[in-house]
Structure 1
C-alpha cells in the first residue's frame, strides 16, 4: 500500500510536504518522498531544516549505535517502501518465435519455399508439386522451434542468474549489533557500514567515517571521486566507495532512490547476435546471391536454347501449352538451384552448437551472460588471472610470525608462551586498533569476524592470544584513520592512549612499511635503532616467508612527540613490531586446470598485488611459472616504453605488486600482439581489465559469470 502526503510549493519554489496520517500513526516524522528528495537533490536547506543527520535519524526512529529493531522492518516497508526495483515483465515464448522468424537466411528460405510450392503445383500438380516447398517449410519450422526454445530457456537461465547476482549482502547495525542482511531487506533508518570497494545499496546520509571517497561516475559520468563528509553528507545508491569507510543512515530505498529513478528510464537489455552468427549469416547471404546468379544464368541459358531450337526448326510462331510448361520447368530448375544453394541447416547448426556450449558451461557452474562468450572462449590463447580468491581459497590464516630480535619463526599457537608481555601488548594493539574489520556477536552470543580476509586472519590470531576486541576499542580513542588502498598498500591509524599521549599504528606490504621504520622492538620489549644488519635479517625473513607462498605484512607503531602534529598520521619514523606470514591455500583443482589450459595451447598468467616472492611461489605451485617464463613487478613493467613492453609481454607469466592499471595495460598489449585474452577477477580492482579483455570471467563465491 502506498501512502501519499499533501504537497505544496513555498514562495521560494521548494516543495513542501504535509505529514500524512499514516506516517504519523506509524511513529515517523517525515514523509518518504520528502526524505528521498533531500538526498537525491542534495537539498542542504531541507537537510538542515530537519535538524541534519541527528534530526532525520530521530524522525525515522533510528539510533546511530543500535540501529533499528528487526521487528520494525515491515512497518517501515509499508511507509517508506521496499528496496526493490520495478522490472519489466519477462518476454514470453511466442516473442522468441517471432524474433527467430526475422533471421535473414530463414526469410530467403521462406520466399524460396513459397515460390517452389507455386511452381511445383503449376508443373506437377497436387500433391506432388508441394513436396519440395513443404519440405523447406518444415525445415524452417524446425529451425524456428529450436531457436525459440533455446532462447527461451536461455532467458529463464538469465532470470535465475539475475536472482543470484542480486543476492548481495550488506553489513548493518540492527538490534544493537552488527549483522549481514540481504539488500532486499534494507529499509529506511538502517545503519549501513561501508568500506572500500562496496556499492552504496541505497540513498543515505553520511554519519561517521574516514577519508570517504565516492565514485559517482555510474550516475553523473564524472570520473573525479567525490569527498563525502559531514559537510557534504549525501550518498546515492549505485555509486561505489573508492576509498575510506563510513557508516550511513538509509533515507530512501527501491524506486525512490536516484538509481531507481534511472532504472525507470532504461529499456530492457537485448542480446546482440554473436560474432559467429554474424559471420555465418554473411556466408549464407553470399551463398544465396551466388545461387541467385547461377539460377538466373541457368534460366536464361535454358530459355535461350529453347528459343534457338524453335527458331532453327521454324516453330517460333507456333506455341503450345507444352512449350509454356517447358518454360515453367526451366523456372522450377532455377528455383531449385536457389533452394539447394541456401543452406537451410546452417541456422539450426549455429543455434544447436551455441545452445549446447551454453548448457555445458551451465553444468560446470559457469553462468553465461553473453552467448558470444561460448565461442570466444574457444579461441582464447591467454588467461590473465589474479591470485587471491581465484587461484586460492580466499580464507587466510596466520601461519608464521617473526618478532623483532628473535631469530626464529613462531607458529601462531607458540606466540603467547614465547613472547614477552610488553611485545604481546603492543602486538595486540596493532591488530585490534589498526583494522577495518570488526568482531561482532549476535544475539546468541556467537562471535563472528566481518571484514577483509587478511584483517580477519589477524583478528582471529588476536582472539586466539586472549585479546578482547571490544575492550581495546573502548579503552583507546581513534582520532584519525588512513584506510588501506591498492596504491598506498598500507593502513594507518592514530589513537589516543589511556595514559595520555598519541600513538600511530601502521600495517601493510612488508617493503612499504619496513621502509617507514627506523627502529625495532628487541626481545626485551625495548625500542632500538634499526641497523643495517637488522634490516638485512628482516629482509631475509620476509623473503623466506614469501618463498613459502605466505603473504607478508609488517606491523609497526610510533609514539607522537610533543612537537608533532597529533592530528595527522606520520609517514616515517615508525618502530617495527613484527613480520606476519599469512597463508592462503591454493584451491583444489587449480593445478589440474592449469595443466589442461597449457595442453590446449593457452598461456596462463598470474597478476597479483602480492610481492614477487609470494607470487612466484604460488605460480610455481599452480604450474603457471615455468623455467623460461618471466616474472616481474608492476613498477618494472609500467616503467618500460611501448617497444620494450611489446617485446616482453608474450613471455610474462607472473606480474607482482601490480596496480589495476598494470593489469589493464598488460591485457591491452596482449591483444595488440594478436592474443585472444580472457581475464578472471573477483574484485572491483579487476574491472578495467575485465572490460578491456575479449572475455571477462567475474569470479565469485558461487561460481563464475561470463
Structure 2
C-alpha cells in the first residue's frame, strides 16, 4: 500500500466523494493502514487527544505553595524579625528570620513534592481508564488506545463503542449513533455510506461519525478523516476555557476545618498578644518581636498546613492500591462513597460468574445430547453420554443448530500462543466453540456468506442474519437465534433430521417444557430457527439488488416469520469460586447484594441461591412484573427482592431510584450502552472493564478490570480502610496541633505557676519559640500523617455497618478526643518545663534554655506517641502495632531529627536549644509517654461504654 496522502488533516468533508477520500488517505477499507504508515502518521500529526489546559510551570507550582494566609503571616514575621535585628545593630545573624525562611522553603518543597506525586498518581489512573478503539491494520482487527488512532485508520464500530475520531462511514449494518454530546439531539442518528450536499448541520451528516459520540445499535466501519483538535469535538473544545474542578465533600470539610481553626487561632492570638503587650509592658524592639512571634507561634501551632497535600496523596495512593486490585476508581471523591455503600446491584454474567459461556446441552427433536469441555478452548465432543456417538438424524439436527447459532453471531474465536479468547459476546462465542468441537467451522465458512443483519436488542431478544447458501444455488436463508420463547412464537414448522414438519401445540409445549427444565438446571437457553428466503418455485423473495449488496436491518427484521424451529442449546456460565465468599463478606459488612440480570428467572434464582444472595424461599422478580408496578409498589418490592431477571436496562434505573428512596447508597454494575443512565444515577457506577462498552466505562465512576464481583467487595473494604486512614491522620494532626496551641496559650497564662515569669527576668517569655513550633510541624506532621494514610487495616472494617450518608468525617466524638489529647500534651510539656525551671510547682535547677529545650523535646515525643494512639479511636495502640513499617520509620526519623536539633551546635543556634543529658531525656520520654497511657485509659472506658450501649440496644430490640 502506498502512503497516498495528498490532503492536509481535516480537509475531507461529508460532501467529498468517498472513493476520493479513501484515495487521498491511502486507505483500503478492507485492510486498513499498514502498521508502519500508522506509526509514521502518529509521529507526524501527534496523538488523537483534545488539547487540555497547558501544564503549570514547575516554578509557578512551587510559588503556589506560598499562596496561603498563614504563609503571609510567617513572611511578615520574617520581615519583623529582620527589621528588629537591623535596628538592634545587626549583631550576628538574624537567626529567627533565617530559620523561619528555611522552614518555609522546606515546607514548600514538601508540599510541592506531595502535589506532584498526587498528580502523577492521577495521570497513571487516567492511562488505565483510557478509551480504546478497534481498528484494521493490514487486514487484522486490533484494539489500540484511542490516542493512537490516526487519519486513514479504519474503525470497526459495534454497539456500545465510543467513536474515537471523526470518520466517514464505509459500511453500516443498522448503525445508529447517539450524538447528544455533540448536537444536543436526544434521538440516535442512523448512519450509512454516501456523500451529502454541502452546508448540512452536524445532525444531518449521516455519512460521518464524530469523535466522542456513542454507537447505540448495529455495526459498521468508518475511515478516520480527522483526529485530536481537528474534529468537531476538538473545535468545540477550542472554544472552551479550562473548567475548575469542584471540591469533593471531604475536601470541603477539610477546608472548613482549616479555616475554622485559622480564624479561631487568629482571634486567640490577637487576644493573647494584646494581653501580653498590656501586662508585660513591652518597651523594646526585642520584646515587640517576641510578642509578634507569639502570635505567629499560635497560628502555626493550630493550622495543619500540610493537610490538603497529605489528603490528596493519601487518596491517590489508596486509589492506586485499588487499581492494583483491578478496581480503577476514576475520581478521588468516589473513595468517600465506597465506604458508605449499603447495596450492591450486580449483574450475573461475568461478574458473579466467570463469563466463559459453554454449551453443555443440545436439545433437538430427536433428543438431548451433551457437549464436553468447559470454556473457550474447543476441546470436547457432542455425544449422547459416556462418549457415545449421536445417531445420524440427531447429528444432522445438531449440525444445523450449532452452525445456525454460529451464523447468527458477530463474535470471533481466536487462538494466540495456545490461549483461546473471544472478541465479542460470550454467548455467541459459545456457539463457535461448540461448532468447532463438531468440526463444522471450515465447512460453514466456505458455504455461507452474510449479506444482512437484524441486530439483537434487549427489546427484540433475538438476532437474525441473511446468508447466501453457496451449496444450494446461492439461495438466501434467514437464520435467527434468541430467547427460545420469543423465537418459537415466530415458528410454524420444526426440523427432524433432514425433514421439516408442521409445528403443532403439543410440540410447542414440549419444547417449552424442555427449556424450563434446562433453565432449572441454571443453564442459559438459546433457541435457533431458520427460513429459506425462496418461494415454492425456488425464486428468492428478496430483491436481487439486496442479494448483490447489503440487506437493510429493517428488511431482515420483516422476514422473521414462518421460521423452522431447529432446537435449543443449554449453556452454563459457572459461578466464580470466589464470588460466594465475597457475597458472605458483603453481608457481614452490612452490605446487601442484589442480582439484576437479563437471564431466565429460574437460572438467575438458582445462581443467586448457590451464592447465598437469595434464600430457599426467595423468588425472582421479572421485568414484566416490574412494568406492572407503579413507583410506590416498586419501592415496596425492593425492600425484599434480591433477584431480578429478564429485565431491560431501563428497569435498572428504576430499581436504583427505588433503593435510593429508602436511603441506600447504591453501587450498580453495568456493561451495555443502555446501562449508562443507571450507572450515572447510582451513587457508585461500576463499569465492566472486559465486557463493558466504552460508553459504560465513561459513565461509571469505577471500572473493574477483571469483571469480578469479589473485586467490588474488596474495593468497598479498601474504601473503608482509606476513609478510616483519613480519620486517623486527621485525629493525629488536629490533636497534635491542639497540643501546640494549648502549650503556647496556657504557657503564657500560667507563666507564674510554672516559673516562667522568674526565668524571663521580667520580660516577655514564651514556653516555645516560633522556630521550635515550625520545627515540630515539619518533623511531626507530614511524615507520620502520610504513614497513617497508608496504615493497614487496624479495626475490622467489614464488621460494622456502612457509614451513614452525611456522617461528618470529624464528628463530636473525635473533637472531644482531639481536645482531651491536646490538653494532655500541653500538660506534660508545661510540666516538663516546670520540672527543670527554678520556682513554680516543682523546683528545678536548669536555666530557661535547657528547660524550654526539654519542653520542646517532650512535645515532639508526645506527638510521636500520639501517632500510635491515632491508629484507632477505640482499639488499643498495641493491637497490630508492628504492621506499618512506614509508621515506625517516620517515628524513628522524628526521634533522630529531634536528637540532632538538641545536640548539633548549628541547629542549637538556629532553634534556640541546648544539649540535654540522660536525666533530661529520661524525664522527657516518661512524661511524653503519658499521652499514650492517658489515651489507652480513655479507650478502655469507651469500649466498656460501647458494649453497654450494644447490650442495651439488643435488650430493647428483644423486648420490641
CA separation of 1:145/1:610 partners in 2, compared to 1, >3 Å: closer, same or farther? farther
TM-score (norm 2): 0.59
1:480 equivalent to 2:466? Answer no
CA separation of 1:460/1:108 partners in 2, compared to 1, >3 Å: closer, same or farther? same
Deviation at 1:572, TM superposition (A): 3.7
The correspondence for 2:190, drawn from 221, 227, 241, is: 227
Looking at structure 1, the residues matched to 451 and 11 of structure 2 have their Cα atoms a distance apart, in angstroms, of 33
1:404 touches 1:576 (CA, 8 Å); kept in 2?
A: no
CA separation of 1:143/1:330 partners in 2, compared to 1, >3 Å: closer, same or farther? closer
Gaps of 5+ in 2: 195-205, 373-379, 384-388, 543-554, 691-704, 716-960
Deviation at 1:342, TM superposition (A): 4.7
CA separation of 1:250/1:118 partners in 2, compared to 1, >3 Å: closer, same or farther? closer
CA separation of 1:417/1:633 partners in 2, compared to 1, >3 Å: closer, same or farther? same
Looking at structure 2, the residues matched to 179 and 244 of structure 1 have their Cα atoms a distance apart, in angstroms, of 19
Looking at structure 2, the residues matched to 27 and 325 of structure 1 have their Cα atoms a distance apart, in angstroms, of 79
Deviation at 1:555, TM superposition (A): 0.9
* Structure with bigger gyration radius: 2
1:147 touches 1:351 (CA, 8 Å); kept in 2?
A: no
Deviation at 1:162, TM superposition (A): 3.0
1:557 equivalent to 2:526? Answer no
Question: Which piece of structure 1 moves more, 379-388 or 567-576?
Answer: 567-576
Deviation at 1:131, TM superposition (A): 11
CA separation of 1:323/1:181 partners in 2, compared to 1, >3 Å: closer, same or farther? closer
The correspondence for 2:382, drawn from 392, 411, 414, is: 414
1:390 counterpart residue number: 351
CA separation of 1:511/1:334 partners in 2, compared to 1, >3 Å: closer, same or farther? same
The correspondence for 1:537, drawn from 510, 520, 532, is: 510
2:343 touches 2:591 (CA, 8 Å); kept in 1?
A: yes
CA separation of 1:392/1:268 partners in 2, compared to 1, >3 Å: closer, same or farther? farther
2:114 touches 2:309 (CA, 8 Å); kept in 1?
A: no
Looking at structure 1, the residues matched to 156 and 135 of structure 2 have their Cα atoms a distance apart, in angstroms, of 6
1:390 touches 1:681 (CA, 8 Å); kept in 2?
A: no
Deviation at 1:339, TM superposition (A): 5.9
CA separation of 1:647/1:325 partners in 2, compared to 1, >3 Å: closer, same or farther? farther
1:367 counterpart residue number: 328
Output aligned runs, 1:236-635, within 5 Å: 236-265=210-239, 271-292=245-266, 342=303, 347=308, 350-351=311-312, 353-355=314-316, 357-406=318-367, 411=372, 413-414=381-382, 417-418=390-391, 420=393, 422-438=396-412, 450-469=423-442, 472=444, 475-497=447-469, 498-499=472-473, 502-522=476-496, 525-531=499-505, 533-560=506-533, 562=535, 566=542, 567-568=555-556, 569-627=558-616, 631-635=620-624
Looking at structure 1, the residues matched to 148 and 109 of structure 2 have their Cα atoms a distance apart, in angstroms, of 41
1:139 touches 1:344 (CA, 8 Å); kept in 2?
A: no
Question: Which piece of structure 1 moves more, 619-628 or 264-273?
Answer: 264-273
Looking at structure 2, the residues matched to 150 and 341 of structure 1 have their Cα atoms a distance apart, in angstroms, of 21
Question: Which piece of structure 1 moves more, 569-578 or 289-298?
Answer: 289-298
Give 3-state SS (helix, strand or coil) of 1:650's partner. Answer: coil
Give 3-state SS (helix, strand or coil) of 1:507's partner. Answer: strand
2:657 counterpart residue number: 668
Give 3-state SS (helix, strand or coil) of 1:32's partner. Answer: coil
Deviation at 1:703, TM superposition (A): 5.1
Deviation at 1:663, TM superposition (A): 1.6
Give 3-state SS (helix, strand or coil) of 2:176's partner. Answer: strand
Give 3-state SS (helix, strand or coil) of 1:658's partner. Answer: coil
Output aligned runs, 1:120-269, within 5 Å: 147-166=111-130, 168-172=132-136, 174-175=138-139, 178=141, 183=146, 186-231=149-194, 232-265=206-239
Deviation at 1:243, TM superposition (A): 0.6
1:109 touches 1:339 (CA, 8 Å); kept in 2?
A: no
Deviation at 1:191, TM superposition (A): 3.6
Give 3-state SS (helix, strand or coil) of 2:620's partner. Answer: strand
CA separation of 1:366/1:286 partners in 2, compared to 1, >3 Å: closer, same or farther? same
CA separation of 1:667/1:67 partners in 2, compared to 1, >3 Å: closer, same or farther? same
2:216 touches 2:673 (CA, 8 Å); kept in 1?
A: no
Q: Which structure features the higher share of strand residues?
A: 1
CA-to-partner distance for each residue in 1:412-469, whole Å, 9 max, x for gaps? 7225734525424432541343222346899x99998643222122112222222235
Deviation at 1:331, TM superposition (A): 8.3
CA separation of 1:131/1:591 partners in 2, compared to 1, >3 Å: closer, same or farther? farther
Deviation at 1:208, TM superposition (A): 2.5
1:146 touches 1:351 (CA, 8 Å); kept in 2?
A: no
CA-to-partner distance for each residue in 1:81-100, whole Å, 9 max, x for gaps? 45533655655665554555
Deviation at 1:518, TM superposition (A): 3.9
Question: Which piece of structure 1 moves more, 331-340 or 555-564?
Answer: 331-340
Give 3-state SS (helix, strand or coil) of 1:367's partner. Answer: strand
1:423 touches 1:525 (CA, 8 Å); kept in 2?
A: no
1:85 equivalent to 2:46? Answer no
Looking at structure 2, the residues matched to 191 and 251 of structure 1 have their Cα atoms a distance apart, in angstroms, of 10
The correspondence for 2:19, drawn from 47, 54, 75, is: 54
2:135 touches 2:153 (CA, 8 Å); kept in 1?
A: no
Looking at structure 2, the residues matched to 352 and 67 of structure 1 have their Cα atoms a distance apart, in angstroms, of 44
Looking at structure 2, the residues matched to 389 and 53 of structure 1 have their Cα atoms a distance apart, in angstroms, of 41
Looking at structure 2, the residues matched to 549 and 139 of structure 1 have their Cα atoms a distance apart, in angstroms, of 67
Give 3-state SS (helix, strand or coil) of 1:585's partner. Answer: coil
Deviation at 1:669, TM superposition (A): 2.5
Deviation at 1:596, TM superposition (A): 2.0
Looking at structure 2, the residues matched to 637 and 131 of structure 1 have their Cα atoms a distance apart, in angstroms, of 76
Looking at structure 1, the residues matched to 74 and 184 of structure 2 have their Cα atoms a distance apart, in angstroms, of 50
Give 3-state SS (helix, strand or coil) of 2:638's partner. Answer: helix
Looking at structure 1, the residues matched to 257 and 43 of structure 2 have their Cα atoms a distance apart, in angstroms, of 58
Looking at structure 1, the residues matched to 464 and 97 of structure 2 have their Cα atoms a distance apart, in angstroms, of 78
Q: How many residues align?
A: 649
Gaps of 5+ in 1: 1-24, 308-319
CA separation of 1:494/1:626 partners in 2, compared to 1, >3 Å: closer, same or farther? same
2:676 counterpart residue number: 687
CA separation of 1:407/1:58 partners in 2, compared to 1, >3 Å: closer, same or farther? same
CA-to-partner distance for each residue in 1:324-376, whole Å, 9 max, x for gaps? 99999998877776666555575577456535533532443433322122222
